[in-house]
Amino acid sequence: MKKFALSALVAAMAVTGTAQAGVTDKDIINDQMTTGDVVSNGMGLRGQRYSPMDKINTETVKDMRPVWAFSFGGEKQRGQESQPMVKDGVMYVTASYSRVFAVDTTTGEELWEYNARLPDGIMPCCDVINRGVALYDDLVIFGTLDAKLVALDAKTGKVKWKKKVEDYKAGYSITAAPIVVKGKVITGVSGGEFGIIGKVEAYDAKTGKLAWTRPTVEGHMGFIWKDGKKMENGISGGQAGKTWPGDLWKSGGAATWLGGTYDPDVDLLFFGTGNPAPWNSHLRPGDNLFSSSRVAIDPDTGKIVWHFQTTPHDGWDYDGVNELVSFDYKANGKTVKAAATADRNGFMYVLNRENGDFIRGFPFVDKITWAKGLDPKTGRPIYDDSNRPGNPADSKDGKKGKSVLAVPSFLGGKNWMPVSYSQDTGLFYVPSNEWAMDIWNEPTAYKKGAAYLGAGFTIKPMNDEYIGVLRAMDPKTGKEVWRKTNYAPLWGGALTTKGNLVFYGTPEGYLLGLNAKTGEEVYKFNTGSGIVGSPITWEQDGEQYLSVVSGWGGAVPLWGGEVAKRVKHLNQGGTVWTFKLPK
């Protein structure tokens, strides 16, 4: 910890005019509508990423300017996908390689830094990123690349508790921001490319004691702890091998690597699950539950209440992890408790969040080749069998199946980068990408800690002028209202405000502000490195602040194939940029 940290922290409290108080369950539940802080991932557990603030609006935003910039420093400048948190004049933000910083929100001065001591054998598939912390009581809680949960003292950065969630040597890691619901810190796991078993777990946020565990591959047992005793909580919603052949469910993937959302109206957690393992779908006939799905989980017990599978028998790595965002709308005079998600597979889905029933689905990208459409009653994809990668066993030498051109690429119509939803326009703002892939299958076998794909691929752009597209989508009609294209892929999240603004960043380094109704660009500032983080906004001393983390990296330059050529010249970085209007 820096020598000046404690005095600076006291000064930060004095500036806000309040004594630092712990974050409560009520604070987290009310986060979206309380503008003085940001204490949940998604700026509210529903994940809408909407702020009711309007001091910065389409008329005033042109005057918005940076007031401080904080560098993460060192040589670890890559893949900064964090969403910051703000409480009592202090920002808590993660950086690549499992680091956490506390920063004075008035001056940008560092208060303390925590650096996880990572072992040499970590196996992150998609860069050394971290997407943020959870706050609870006087704790700052985050996951590490060696699959641990760490709780730090919010005032000092000292470790209060640390728990091993899984074995990093088997390919497990944690990259998502955890969430806190009813005093429990809820986390998923990464590692689907290594044949791990996806799961969601709940820990007592104050002590780190495990409350329950829920595997997300059918056949694996879930448990709940009561009065210090471990009790079976039922298998993961089905029988071993029922939708999996043989023993493949034992290394079935379905990683919960993006984290979850929560809706208090129905008292359910919503987590997405990743691809089934291996990618070669001919080795595992069947739907392969609960891979490439959204699952609704009881936060008290870990029971799966309902599930919706977006890509049954996934053969393209169309992870179903993308966030499920709760929202209400009126239909036939009644309020519909809905939730929407823009999937890697190119379709956007609107579900009834009470029971998981399919309401409607529609493409949000320009082209989809792997499916002809969705069943209008169930939402199940209508496959185009000619566009499933071929079985290597059908080839002469058994080494490579027929290659197909699949759209979208496995990096998805939308990947991890979170959408935002405006309560004013009723639209979802979706960072998306237009790209294709040549993909083929190969033989493979599971080996602990080794890549478990059984596929090869090459990603390619579909347009010379752009790959990235920010889209305004109407969830009630399935129509695109407007779009703004970008030469490089979009890889960061969106923020919407009552000021009729949508903010997001580009790999070229620009923080952009658009008119939420029309898509007109009304603000532009270059941060010096690609933005792959998610912006936030809050109120302090009567002024509206906005922050975003800048630092190029993530999966695109690692897995991007021909697409990587478009971004190879971009500079890496690691800086928090903070803006406001002049007084």
For 480-522, write each residue's pLDDT tens digit.
999 999 999 999 999 999 999 999 999 999 999 999 999 999 9
CB 172 within 8 A of CB 191: yes
Find the length of the chain.
Answer: 583
Strand partners, 357: none
Instruction: Phi first, then psi: give them for residue 194, nearest 5 degrees.
Output: -115, 15
The two structure tokens encoding residue 358: 């399919």
Residue 565 has pLDDT above 90, yes or no: no
5-580: what fold? Methanol Dehydrogenase; Chain A (2.140.10)
CB 473 within 8 A of CB 480: yes
Contacts of 31 by beta carbon, 8 Å cutoff, 6+ apart: 37, 38, 39, 40, 43, 44, 45
Average pLDDT over every residue of 525-532? 97
The two structure tokens encoding residue 61: 């935003």
The amino acid present at 575, given as its one-letter code, is T
- Strand pairing of 358-363 and 371-374? unpaired
**pLDDT band for position 351 (50/70/90)?**
very high
Which residue has 């009567």 as its token pair? 542
The C-alpha torsion from 148 through 149 and 155 to 156, rounded to 10°, is: -20
In angstroms, rounded to a whole number, what is the distance separating the alpha carbons of residues 168 and 548? 30
* pLDDT for the residue 107: 97
Q: Any idea which of 13-17, 130-134, 151-155, 175-179 has the lowest mean pLDDT? A: 13-17
Strand partners, 431: 470
Q: For residues 561 and 334, which has the higher predicted lDDT (pLDDT)?
A: 334
Say how many CA atoms lie within 13 Å of 326 toward its Cβ: 25
Which residue has 């499933």 as its token pair? 388
**pLDDT band for position 20 (50/70/90)?**
low
Residue 2 has pLDDT above 70, yes or no: no
Question: What's the mean per-residue pLDDT of the chain?
Answer: 94
Average pLDDT over every residue of 321-349? 97
* pLDDT for the residue 237: 67
Which residue has 């949000």 as its token pair? 364
The two structure tokens encoding residue 289: 């539950």
Strand partners, 320: 273
In angstroms, rounded to a whole number, what is the distance separating the alpha carbons of residues 577 and 82? 12
Burial 226-239 (b: 16+ CB within 10 A, else e): eeeeeeebebbbbe
- Edge-first strand order for the sheet with 159-164 is 134-136, 139-143, 148-153, 159-164
pTM of the model: 0.95
In angstroms, rounded to a whole number, what is the distance separating the alpha carbons of residues 103 and 78? 20
Average pLDDT over every residue of 239-262? 93
* pLDDT for the residue 559: 86
Q: Helix (H, G, I), strand (E, B), or coil: what is residue 428?
A: strand
Neighbours of 287 (CB within 10 A): 21
Catalytic positions, please?
317
Instruction: Phi first, then psi: give them for residue 285, nearest 5 degrees.
Output: -55, 145
Instruction: Tell me whether residue 351 is exposed, middle or buried, using C-beta atoms within 10 angstroms of its C-beta: 0 to 12, 13 to 18, 19 or more.
Output: buried
**Spans of all domains in the chain:** 5-580
For 184-205, write each residue's pLDDT tens digit.
999 999 999 999 999 999 999 9
Sign of the torsion formed by the C-alpha atoms of 256, 262, 263 and 266? positive
**pLDDT band for position 9 (50/70/90)?**
very low
Instruction: Phi first, then psi: give them for residue 305, nearest 5 degrees.
Output: -85, -40
For 457-480, write each residue's pLDDT tens digit.
999 999 999 999 999 999 999 999
Burial 199-214 (b: 16+ CB within 10 A, else e): bbbbbebbebebbbbb
CA distances from 538 to 51, 90, 134, 325 (A): 8, 12, 17, 21
Radius of gyration of the chain (CA): 22
In angstroms, rounded to a whole number, what is the distance separating the alpha carbons of residues 268 and 198? 19
Residue 1 has pLDDT above 60, yes or no: no
The two structure tokens encoding residue 268: 């359910």
**pLDDT band for position 228 (50/70/90)?**
confident
Contacts of 397 by beta carbon, 8 Å cutoff, 6+ apart: none
Contacts of 376 by beta carbon, 8 Å cutoff, 6+ apart: none
Average pLDDT over every residue of 174-181? 98
* pLDDT for the residue 142: 98
Average pLDDT over every residue of 364-379? 98
Longest C-alpha distance within the chain, in Å? 75
Beta strands in 282-324 (DSSP E): 293-297, 304-309
Instruction: Phi first, then psi: give them for residue 396, nearest 5 degrees.
Output: -65, -40
Sign of the torsion formed by the C-alpha atoms of 579, 492, 416 and 553? negative
